[in-house]
Structure 1
Amino acid sequence: MSINWVMLTQDGKAPVPLPQEKMFFTQPDVKMVLYCNDSAGGYPGHSEAYFKSDKGTVILSNQRIIYLAEAATTIDFRNLNIPIRNFKNWKLEQPWFGANFVSGVVIPVQNGGLTKNASLKLTFTEGGAIEFTNILRNLLERIEESNEIPAEYEALPAYQGNLPPQYSA
């Protein structure tokens, strides 16, 4: 994970793709909280490593998860870059009241701006959490199976065959 390391296009609205990188999912209007606190008795918002954005865009590629803050609440945070293999113990939460969110542990990368593991919460206020987790799960499964980063993402095709006469209703 690295803070403010995403290279952006000249208009500042999209990331510059890495070599062999394909973007599979983009969702605007996502809230983000990144919290890293090892001290006992610590609580959110009172740590040297607490970043929050009330509105931004999540982008999922075959190599990383990117969060681009639309209006950063602190000067120190503009974007977040997480290699997909560094997002651990993640889960989709679907509360009775409120928006769906994905939370998990993020492992920092060397010279990425943070030195400790962090807790990440992405709240999908306008939908997209289920699609995000389905694509992320499929990408991670393909990486584990082949030990390669997939160059494309294709969902299984819908069955469109004709039933033989004896099976038709």
Structure 2
Amino acid sequence: MAVNPLLAQDGANQSLFPMPETGEAFVLKRDNIDFECSLPRGGKLWGRGSFFLSSKRIVFVALDKSCRQDFRSFAIPLQTLRKPKFEQPIFGANYLAGSTRPLPGTENDQTAAPLLGGDTVFYLTFRSGGCNTFLQLLFQLLSEVQAQNSQNTIAQAAQEGRLNQVAYVDPSDPSVLYLSQPTAVAGSEEQTNFQMDAPSAPPPEGHPQPARGGGNQQCVIC
């Protein structure tokens, strides 16, 4: 788990995306997302933008709005993702909720410093469209990570450009599958220094707040 992981420009369209880690394969990208999290030692972060699902993590990138200028992105490792729940409130947008904490051994990293002291609770709100393609791939990846399965995996299909052969594609889900892996523009890497003692602005008017319960919910892995 990290605040402001390294970003870079995608060579295909010059948009920002998470700089790939060693052995990481990107699976899909989803736009029109609201992100919110409660930090272990108090305070909240929020933003509006896109998230990327990979074989190792979910990374939110604030592209449209953010609670503060020095909050650009947030990484959720699949290895430490706990109690993921997809909820469909009667009133309000669908959202994914869960908790996470830094990966063991990364506690001294600068990007993990704001997240020490306990679990970070997060919400990813889908402002439009369905989620079946995303959910199927997410929970399959979580199962593979927990089982430490290295063969015939979603990650392997992503690396080989075969996601369209193994993923259930829901026409109502606007998630974009990676049929080839993105490459970073040389020298485009950027990382924003997060000031832990700086205040965060409240969400702007019109920033939807997830309705906590009150609708259908799905918890596949607890």
* Range into which the TM-score falls when normalised by the shorter chain: 0.7 to 0.9
The corresponding residue for 2:32 is: 29
Contact 1:87 1:104 in 2 (8 A): yes
SS at match of 2:7: coil
Question: Quick check: 2:95–2:126 contact (8 Å CA) kept in 1?
Answer: yes
Larger Rg: 1
User: Per-residue displacement from partner, 1:65-91 (whole Å, max 9, x unpaired)?
Assistant: 110001322123110112111111011
In 1: Cα distance, 2:17 partner to 2:34 partner: 17
Bigger relative CO (Cα 8 Å, ≥ 6 apart): 2
Q: CA RMSD in A?
A: 2.3
Match of 2:9 in 1: 9
Deviates more, 1:80-89 or 1:68-77: 68-77
The Cα shift of 1:37 comes to 4.4
1:123 maps to what in 2?
125
For 2:101 and 2:149, locate their aligned partners in 1 and report how far apart those are by CA, in whole Å. Answer: 19
Percent of residue pairs identical: 26
**Structure 2 partner of 1:139:** 141
Query: Partner of 1:80: helix, strand, or coil?
Result: strand
What TM-score do you get using the length of structure 1 for normalisation?
A: 0.76
Whole-angstrom CA distance in 2 between matches of 1:142 and 1:128: 24
Rounded to whole Å, the distance in 1 between the matches of 2:130 and 2:26 is 15
Bigger mean CA deviation after superposition, 145-154 or 77-86:
145-154
Q: Which runs of 4+ in 1 moved over 4 A?
A: none
Equivalent residues of 2:59, 2:76 under 8 A apart: yes
Q: Which moved more, 1:25-34 or 1:135-144?
A: 135-144
Q: Is 1:87 equivalent to 2:81 in the alignment?
A: yes
Structure 2 counterpart SS, 1:8: strand
* Unaligned ranges ≥5, structure 2: 158-162, 169-222
Deviations 1:53-107 (A, max 9, x none): 1x21011011111100013221231101121111110110011122110000111
Q: Secondary structure at the match of 2:138?
A: helix
Give how far 1:12 is off: 5.3
TM-score, normalised by the number of residues in structure 2: 0.59
Contact 1:21–1:151 (8 Å) recurs in 2: no
Q: Given the alignment of the two structures, is residue 151 of structure 1 paired with residue 147 of structure 2, yes or no?
A: no
CA–CA separation in structure 1 for the residues paired with 2:89 and 2:126: 12
Q: Which runs of 5+ in 1 are unaligned?
A: 39-46, 157-169
